[in-house]
Every structure is written in C-alpha cells, then in structure tokens.
Amino acid sequence: EVQLVESGGGLVQAGGSLRLSCLHSGFTFNDSAIGWFHRAPGKERVGISCISGSDGSTWYEDSVKGRFTISSDNTKNTVYLQMNDLRPEDTAVYYCAARPEKYGSPWTPITINYWGKGTPVTVSS
C-alpha cells in the first residue's frame, strides 16, 4: 500500500522558514517522481516542486524559485521541502504527491497517482 505522510506545517511570520517532510512507502522511489502541491483558500491545487527519484533532477514553480528547495533522503524514505522567505501568499495546504516517472510530463494534479492528506501552512504578515 502506498502511503505519503506529510509533516512540518504550521504558523510562521512573513520572512520566516519552515521545512515540510513527506515520509513515503509502498513504491520504488527510483522509478518515481515525488513532490509538492499547494492549495490556497478558494483556489485550485497547484504544483510547486518535484524531484526525480531516478536522476535527482528538480523542478520549481516560478513563484517559489530561489526560496524553496526540494531534496530527498533515500535512507529515510523522506522528501523535504525547505521553504524560506515565506510570504502571506504562500498560505495554503501543502500536499505531498507521487507518480511513476514521466519525463517531460508537467507536474499537474491530473498526472498524480498518489496523494498525502496535506499539512497546513499559514504565513502571517
């Protein structure tokens, strides 16, 4: 059974940092891509970053480039999202997601096979 369990969300002031963790199990990371989406209040779920299990390549949505960093620790079956310089507009529920590796395929909700339950992040101004 595939499981994705997020942790690390919370309340932070603008300019602060948080690190989200996604503990994954039940699939082969080397054949997969894992990453993050967020859903702001009243908006659609949006892909913000992912990492390839096969070659470690990464992708970031434009609004988080230079502020967020995705990484993986294969010894712990965990993918991290380090979020720095947080802004009120980053307030959202953050979801870990995974799919088989699909090179060239956009990181969009319709391409995802597995979802975590989400962890909320609130950034106060």
Over residues 35-83, the pLDDT tens digits come to 999 999 999 999 999 999 989 999 999 999 999 999 999 999 999 999 9
Give CA angle at 98 (115, 40), nearest 5°: 50
Altogether, the residues listed in the chain come to a count of 125
Over residues 11-42, the pLDDT tens digits come to 999 999 999 999 999 988 888 999 999 999 99
C-alpha distances in Å from residue 104, one per residue of 41, 101, 107 = 29, 9, 9
